[in-house]
């Protein structure tokens, strides 16, 4: 019996020829991640187990992104603990405020996660990196403390679900719509402690940004990980980023799956998740017209370049509805600067939106967009549980950036097709943008990489 790509990755990292679902393994990790909420707990447990030095200073990433820039004294202390630990241990990949971004956008951008990796993070959306063909999963801070100390984790090998998508994507249907639809079909526990392996002909139409979005929300179906096969799109993305060898794994034709789900996307509409669950999904036509108070475009789910582009395209020459607050948050400093250079920031500000520095901010009700009682927000984030973005009696709806941008303009949940005089995205750099230095180009082709199919 053959193995799935997830099983192959775990077998390789456990030093075994093969593994099977249900088996417990000790596996070496390629990267350990924590943020300003979870790292202080992991650091405390790290010292409680009697360890003085981390296993590998180059294989740990610490990213302050949830309550940063610090909104109050407790959040400042959280970051202080992480900062002091990074300095004491000589952690190479500590990303300070102003040089960082949202962790799950930042680490792939920096080339810290590559195909075939095993990555563990003290954040549930670590599964984002499955878009690169890596087995990436979230764990508790105590497990992360052990991983920082030993470079190993224990895992139960999960079963895999094969999600097959076929057909041409309709206009305005994106990776966000595919994953919302899938979660709506199987529920928030439909893939509990299983791997969602995304495949099928439709994947060729998905950008890396779309794939990151889908892998990111695999955990909303209860999945341990969400993996995409490595193809030409993936290899092009990592080509300018990889600085170390990596290995590509693919599922065997006779690999065993717990179930196979097939989705014909040809008649799919943009999807919206209603309160208070990512699985409470409806097609856009069924929720059209619901008034909103706030729109958030960004997060580790939809804060990437194509997300910003589609939003700017729809808001170019438009104005945010006078009764709506619109907050746009790029995923990293690099994306922030690019948005300034290429005119997207100007579009958002002229439309009456807030263009923020990179932060998780409103996604978890942290800051920069907390909702009051009775307020309703349409967001491109990943969760809409009770009180997720503020008051327990507020409401959060989830959608793609295209639907969010159109809704910000019209003041209600709306279709992008309703925006009049929509123009293609062509900008003349503003005088401010012309004063900025040219983008830094770094060629990472200095080291030979090993790729095996």
Q: What is the pLDDT along the chain (453 residues), one digit of tens a residue?
A: 899 999 999 999 999 999 999 999 999 999 999 999 999 999 999 999 999 999 999 999 999 999 989 989 999 999 999 999 999 999 999 999 999 899 999 999 999 999 999 999 999 999 999 999 999 999 999 999 999 999 999 999 999 999 999 999 999 999 999 999 999 999 999 999 999 999 999 999 999 999 999 999 999 999 999 999 999 999 999 999 999 999 999 999 999 999 999 999 999 999 999 999 999 999 999 999 999 999 999 999 999 999 999 999 999 999 999 999 999 999 999 999 999 999 999 999 999 999 999 999 898 888 999 999 999 999 999 999 999 999 999 999 999 999 999 999 999 999 999 997 555 454 333 333 333 333 333 222 222 222 322
Q: Which two tokens stand for residue 64?
A: 């302050």
Instruction: Label residue 187 exposed, middle or buried (CB < 10 Å: 0-12, 13-18, 19+).
Output: middle
Domain 5-264 has CATH 3.30.499.10: yes
Domains of the chain, residue spans: 5-264, 274-432
CA torsion sign for 59, 64, 65, 67 is positive
Question: Is 135 within 8 Å of 27 (Cβ atoms)?
Answer: no
d(CA 30, CA 247): 12
d(CA 428, CA 345): 13
Cβ of 282: how many Cβ atoms within 10 Å?
Answer: 16
> Treating both helix axes as pointing N-terminal to C-terminal, what angle do 39-48 and 73-89 enclose, rounded to 10 degrees?
50
Q: Residue 196 phi/psi, 5° resolution? A: -90, 110
Q: Residue 355 phi/psi, 5° resolution? A: -105, 110
Question: Global pTM?
Answer: 0.91
Q: Residue 102 phi/psi, 5° resolution? A: -75, 125
Q: For the stretch 388-410, what's the b/e string if a residue is b when 16 or more beta carbons lie within 10 angstroms of its beta carbon? A: bbbeeebbbbbbbbbbbbbbbbb
d(CA 32, CA 403): 35
291 DSSP assignment = B
d(CA 409, CA 423): 15
Query: Nearest-CA neighbor of 298 among 326, 320, 276?
Result: 326
**Predicted local confidence at residue 68, as pLDDT:** 87
Cβ of 344: how many Cβ atoms within 10 Å?
Answer: 26
Q: Which two tokens stand for residue 274?
A: 């209603």
Helix (H, G, I), strand (E, B) or coil at 61: strand
Strands 395-398 and 376-379: parallel
d(CA 398, CA 384): 7
Question: Is 65 within 8 Å of 358 (Cβ atoms)?
Answer: yes
- For the chain, the straight-line distance linking the first and the last C-alpha, in angstroms and rounded, comes to 18
**Predicted local confidence at residue 1, as pLDDT:** 81
Please check whether the two domains, 5-264 and 274-432, share a CATH topology: yes
Helix (H, G, I), strand (E, B) or coil at 232: helix
The CB-side HSE value for 164 (13 A sphere, CA atoms) comes to: 8
CATH number attached to the domain at 274-432: 3.30.499.10
Query: Nearest-CA neighbor of 219 among 257, 184, 191, 199?
Result: 191
Q: Which two tokens stand for residue 46?
A: 């790290």
Query: Nearest-CA neighbor of 43 among 90, 94, 82, 91?
Result: 82
Whether omega before 276 lies within 30 degrees of 0, making that bond cis, reads yes
């Amino acid at each position: 019996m053959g193995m799935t790509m997830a099983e192959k990755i775990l077998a390789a990292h456990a030093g075994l020829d093969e593994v099977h679902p249900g088996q417990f393994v000790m596996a070496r990790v390629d990267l350990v991640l924590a943020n300003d909420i979870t790292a202080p707990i992991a650091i405390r447990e790290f010292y409680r187990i009697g360890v003085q030095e981390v296993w590998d200073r180059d294989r740990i990433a610490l990213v302050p992104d949830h309550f940063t820039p610090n909104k109050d004294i407790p959040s400042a202390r959280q970051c202080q603990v992480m900062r002091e630990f990074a300095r004491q241990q000589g952690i190479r990949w500590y990303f300070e405020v102003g040089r960082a971004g949202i962790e799950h956008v930042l680490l792939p951008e920096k080339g810290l996660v590559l195909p075939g990796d095993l990555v563990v993070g003290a954040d549930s959306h670590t599964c984002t990196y499955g878009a690169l063909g890596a087995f990436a999963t979230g764990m508790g801070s105590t497990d992360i403390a052990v991983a920082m100390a030993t470079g190993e984790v224990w895992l139960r090998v999960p079963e895999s679900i094969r999600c097959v998508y076929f057909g041409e994507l309709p206009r305005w249907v994106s990776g966000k719509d595919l994953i919302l639809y899938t979660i709506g079909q199987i529920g928030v526990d439909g893939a509990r402690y299983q791997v969602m392996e995304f495949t099928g002909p439709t994947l060729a139409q998905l950008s890396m940004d779309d794939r990151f979005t889908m892998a990111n929300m695999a955990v909303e179906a209860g999945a341990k990980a969400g993996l995409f096969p490595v193809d030409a799109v993936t290899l092009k993305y990592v080509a300018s980023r990889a600085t170390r060898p990596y290995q590509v794994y693919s599922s065997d034709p006779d690999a065993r799956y717990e179930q196979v789900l097939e989705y014909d996307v040809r008649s799919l509409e943009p999807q919206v998740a209603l309160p208070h669950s990512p699985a409470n999904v409806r097609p856009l036509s069924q929720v059209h017209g619901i008034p909103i108070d706030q729109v958030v475009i960004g997060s580790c789910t939809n804060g990437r370049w194509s997300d910003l582009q589609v939003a700017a395209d729809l808001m170019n020459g438009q104005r945010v509805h006078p009764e709506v607050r619109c907050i746009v948050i790029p995923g990293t400093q690099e994306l922030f600067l690019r948005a300034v250079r290429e005119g997207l920031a100007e579009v958002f500000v002229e439309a009456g939106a807030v263009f923020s520095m990179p932060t998780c901010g409103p996604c978890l009700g942290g800051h920069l967009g907390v909702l009051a009682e009775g307020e309703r927000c349409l967001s491109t984030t990943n969760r809409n549980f009770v009180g997720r973005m503020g008051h327990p009696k507020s409401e959060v709806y989830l959608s793609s950036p295209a639907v969010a941008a159109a809704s910000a303009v019209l003041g209600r949940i709306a279709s992008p097709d309703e925006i009049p005089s929509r123009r293609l995205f062509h900008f003349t750099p503003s005088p401010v943008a012309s004063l900025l230095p040219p983008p830094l180009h770094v060629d990472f082709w200095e080291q030979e990489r090993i790729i095996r199919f």
